[in-house]
Amino acid sequence: MLQSILFLIVAGVSGWFAFKGFSRVWRNIQLGKAEPTTGDRSQRWRNVLLVALGQQKMFKNWLPAILHLFIYVAFVITQIELIEIFVDGIGGTHRFFAESLGGFYTFVISFIEVLSVLAFVATLIFLARRNLLRVPRFWKPEMKGFPFTDANLILLGEIILIVGIFCMNGGDKVAQARGLEHYHQTGNFAVSTWLGPMLFGSLSDAAVIAVERFGWWLHICTVLGFLCYLPYSKHLHIIFAFPNTWYASLKPKGEMSNMPEIQSEVRAMMGLEPLPGMEAPAQNDSAAFEFGANDVTSLSWKNLLQAYSCTECGRCTAACPANQTGKKLSPRKVMMDVRDRAEEVGLEVRSGRQKTDEYNDGKSLFDRITPEEIHACTTCNACVEACPVLINPLDIILQLRRHEILTQSAGPGEWLPMFNSIENAGAAWAMSEPRDAWNK
C-alpha cells in the first residue's frame, strides 16, 4: 500500500512537470505564423512510417544507423515492460502479466533483455565516438557547453535504465529460485537467468529483495526523469520527428517558395498582367513590404517545429560545402539558434512583458545568425538531403536573406553589380549587347 501511494505521488509530480515542459514548447511553436498544409496525405503517411518510424535516411551511414537502431528498438519495446511497471506500481502487484501470458511473457522479457544488451554496447560506442574518437561534427563550435553535455547525459541515462532492468530482473530470478513470497515463476529469461545468480546469488534474501526493488525504482524514476527533461533536450526529436515528417514540405528540394508581391512587380515591369491573387500591394501598406523573416514571429510555425525536432546530429553541417571550406555557415547552428530564440521570445510572452502580435525587444535572429553565415549558403540543398528527419534549414536561411536584401536593402557589396545587371540587362553578367542578340 505504501509503495502504491509513493508511486502515485512520484508519477503525478513527474507528469505535472512534464506537462508544463511540453506545454511551454507547444506555445513557443505557436509563436510562428500560420502556414497551410497541402499535398498528398498518403505521401505524408509514407514519410512518417519510413523516415520517422523506419529511420530510412539514417541508413545512408550504415554503422551508426545500426547502433542507433539497437537503442531505438530497445527504447520502443521496453515500453511494454514499462506498462507492467505502471500496473504493478498502482496496484501493488508484482509481474502482473506473467501468469496470464505464460511463455509469451517469458519471450517478451527475454527479447527486451537481448535488445538491452545491444543498446548497452551501442551506447558505449556512441560515448566513445563523442568523447574519445571526437567525430568532427560533434565538436563544432555550436556544440560547446550544454549541447555537448546534453548528448552525454542522455547516453548515461540509457546506461542507468539498462542497469535498472538487469538489477530488477536479476534480483527477481534469484528470489524466484529461492521461492521467496510474491516472486512467482516467470520462466527463464535470456540474460538475467544466469546474470542474476552470478551477481546476486551470494546475497541474503533481504539484500536480494532490496536489489530487485532498487532496480524497479531506478528504472521507473529514470524514465519519469527523462520525461521531465525531454522538453529541454535535443532528444525531443524522439516525439517531434513524427509530426515533423508529417508536416514536411512535399515540394521538390530544388523548388524555392515564390513571393507573390515580387512576382507581381516583375510582371508589371515586363508589361504583363498580374496573375489572379497576385496583385501588387498598395504603396502605403508598409506591412505588405516586409519580405522574408527576421525573427521567430515572422517564420512559420512549421519552421519552429523543425527547430525543436532537430537532433543536433550534425549531418547537415557535415554535408554543407560552405562549412567544409571553412566558412562560418552551419545549418545545425541555424536550427539551434532559431530554437534558442523561440525560447527567449516565449519567456517574454508568457511573462506578460510582450505580446506576440506586436513583439519587439530590440533583438532578432540576426543577433544570433550573422550575415556572413547566410551569405555563405549556396542553396545546394545538401543539408536538406542529409537530415534524417526532413528538416529544412535552407528555408530559414532564404527567408533571412530575403529580409536582409529586400526589406533592409542590405547585403554583400559584391552582390550589387549582379543585382544591377539583372535589373538593367536581365542577366547576371553585365553585357553591352542585349541578352538575345546571339540569335540574330
269 and 189, same structural domain?
no
Identify the band that residue 106 occupies on the pLDDT scale cut at 50, 70 and 90: very high
* Residue 223 grid coordinates: 524514465
pLDDT value, residue 429: 77
97 and 137, same structural domain?
yes
- Indicate whether 48 belongs to any domain: no
pLDDT value, residue 289: 63
pLDDT value, residue 12: 95
| CA–CA gap between residue 118 and residue 169 (Å, rounded) | 17
Q: What is the mean pLDDT of the chain?
A: 90
217 and 89, same structural domain?
yes
- Indicate whether 434 belongs to any domain: yes
pLDDT tens track for 240-288: 999 999 999 999 888 888 887 777 777 777 777 777 666 555 555 545 5
- Indicate whether 118 belongs to any domain: yes
Is a pLDDT exceeding 80 seen at residue 299?
Answer: yes
Identify the band that residue 421 occupies on the pLDDT scale cut at 50, 70 and 90: confident
Which residue in the block uniquely carries the three cell numbers 547502433? 67
- Indicate whether 98 belongs to any domain: yes
What does DSSP assign to residue 273? P
424 and 384, same structural domain?
no
| CA–CA gap between residue 241 and residue 249 (Å, rounded) | 14
CATH number for the domain spanning 370: value is 1.10.1060
Identify the band that residue 416 occupies on the pLDDT scale cut at 50, 70 and 90: confident
pLDDT tens track for 245-258: 999 999 988 888 88
Average pLDDT over residues 400-415: 88
pLDDT value, residue 402: 92
| CA–CA gap between residue 182 and residue 173 (Å, rounded) | 12
Is a pLDDT exceeding 60 seen at residue 434?
Answer: yes
Q: How many other C-beta atoms can be found within 10 angstroms of the C-beta atom of residue 302? A: 22
307 and 260, same structural domain?
no
Is a pLDDT exceeding 70 seen at residue 37?
Answer: yes
266 and 144, same structural domain?
no
Residues in contact with 438: Cβ distance below 8 Å, sequence separation at least 6, in sequence order: none
Number of domain units in the chain: 4
98 and 146, same structural domain?
yes
| CA–CA gap between residue 65 and residue 72 (Å, rounded) | 10
Give one DSSP letter per residue of 148-200, joined into a string.
HHHHHHHHHHHHHHHHHHHHHHHHHHHHHHTT-TT-------TTHHHHHHHHH
257 and 222, same structural domain?
no
What does the chain come to in residues? 440
Instruction: Work out the burial of residue 37: count CB atoms within 10 Å of its CB; fewer than 13 is exposed, 13-18 middle, 19 or more buried.
Output: exposed
pLDDT tens track for 356-405: 777 888 899 999 999 999 999 999 999 999 999 999 999 999 999 999 99
11 and 65, same structural domain?
yes
CA neighbor of 86 nearest in space, from 164, 180, 201, 8:
8
Q: Using an 8 Å Cβ cutoff, are 18 and 227 in contact?
A: yes
Average pLDDT over residues 192-198: 94
- Indicate whether 286 belongs to any domain: no
375 and 327, same structural domain?
yes
Pick the range with the lowest mean pLDDT from 17-21, 238-242, 364-368, 416-420: 416-420
Give one DSSP letter per residue of 294-317, joined into a string.
SSTTTSBHHHHHHHHH-----HHH
pLDDT value, residue 260: 78
pLDDT value, residue 409: 84
| CA–CA gap between residue 137 and residue 23 (Å, rounded) | 31
Residues in contact with 382: Cβ distance below 8 Å, sequence separation at least 6, in sequence order: 316, 319, 320, 321
| pTM to 2 decimal places | 0.89
Is a pLDDT exceeding 70 seen at residue 187?
Answer: yes
Is a pLDDT exceeding 70 seen at residue 230?
Answer: yes
Average pLDDT over residues 8-35: 95
| Dihedral over Cα of 83, 85, 87, 93: its sign | positive
Cα dist from 209 to 162, 178, 183, 216, 413, whole Å: 18, 11, 10, 11, 74
15 and 153, same structural domain?
yes
Dihedral, CA of residue 183, residue 185, residue 189 and residue 195, to nearest 10: 50
| CA–CA gap between residue 373 and residue 275 (Å, rounded) | 35
Is a pLDDT exceeding 70 seen at residue 228?
Answer: yes
Is a pLDDT exceeding 60 seen at residue 294?
Answer: yes
393 is in which domain, residue-wise? Answer: 291-409
- Indicate whether 36 belongs to any domain: no
Average pLDDT over residues 325-348: 96
- Indicate whether 44 belongs to any domain: no
429 and 375, same structural domain?
no
Average pLDDT over residues 50-77: 91
Pick the range with the lowest mean pLDDT from 134-138, 274-278, 331-335: 274-278
- Indicate whether 54 belongs to any domain: no
pLDDT value, residue 280: 56
